[in-house]
Amino acid sequence: MTPYARRPTAPYARSVLHQVSAEAGLGFCHAVLPELLQVGYHGPLVVALDSNVLIDFQTHGSEMLNDEIGVAEAKYAEELRCLATLLDLWMLRDIRFVVTPRARSDAKRSIPGFDEMIDGLAKSLAFQFGDWTYPAPSNRPAPPPVGDEHGLPLGADRDLVLEAQAAGAHTFVTRDRRVLRRTVLTGPSMRICAPSDLAEELVTSGIGLMAGGLCEEQGCPYGNTRTPAPDIGKWGPLFAHFEDE
């Protein structure tokens, strides 16, 4: 079973999530990330987060920022280090972390501060939109499906994957082994991957804080002009909900 959705025969509509904005900094181009981005795409990398990743941010966020992962289990510690890599890139690159409505009703939200973490991500995303009037996916009604899923049972996991696809995410990041192993999507392409998989792909593609990930095609919005660093105001709303043990 493949973790990739079938690529569509024609581009689907771009949403505000995919629009280039000066406040968001440097984005990415299909030529450098062909397995993640649609042909001809230039813009932000939209990353939908599973509930387990939100909990990782909440409970180990300060460790990630300080490069002091205090988890004994080797595999989990490696995934947290890779989340830290993604977080580092997000700070200066146009990676848009999104959460969809189903996360709010997921059973894991009973953990104290879970809803606040979702709200912090939404506020951070507003800085990247450059438009405070446009609501984040987590603050809008659930979008209608644009594809189908055939590997997961009915429930939160399946709902979250389909909502992420409908929101236009390029990838759904999760540590849930069942979701990684069993998800079978049809419709617009969306990658299902662990934090380690996404971090490795970005790093091996030569993507850094202020360079990499861009093409030299005529008409690329990141070409011929100096794109400023992003509005660092996006850092605060998310980091405010990282627990400091």
DSSP 84-95: HHHHHHHHHB-E
| Model pLDDT for residues 72-119, shown as the tens digit of each residue | 899 999 999 999 999 999 999 999 999 999 998 885 666 788 899 999
DSSP 161-227: HHHHHHHT-SEEE---HHHHHH--EESS--EEE-HHHHHHHHHHTT--SSS-S----TT-TTSSS-P
Residue 2 has pLDDT above 70, yes or no: no
pLDDT at 11 over 80: no
* Token output for 159: 């709902």
pLDDT band at 7 (very low <50, low <70, confident <90, very high): very low
So what's the pLDDT on residue 128?
92
160: amino acid identity, one letter: L
pLDDT at 9: 33
pLDDT tens, residue by residue, 192-227:
999 999 999 999 999 999 889 999 888 899 886 666
pLDDT at position 92 is 93
Query: Is 31 within 8 Å of 144 (Cβ atoms)?
Result: no
Handedness of CA 82, 83, 88, 90 (dihedral sign): positive
Whether pLDDT at 1 is above 50: no
Q: Could you give the angle at the alpha carbon of 166 between the alpha carbons of 110 and 19, nearest 5°?
A: 105
Is residue 245 predicted with pLDDT exceeding 60? no
Query: In the chain, what is the straight-line distance between the N-terminal and C-terminal CA atoms, in Å?
Result: 40
What is the per-residue pLDDT across 133-148, written as a single tens digit (0 to 9) for each? Answer: 888 999 999 989 999 9
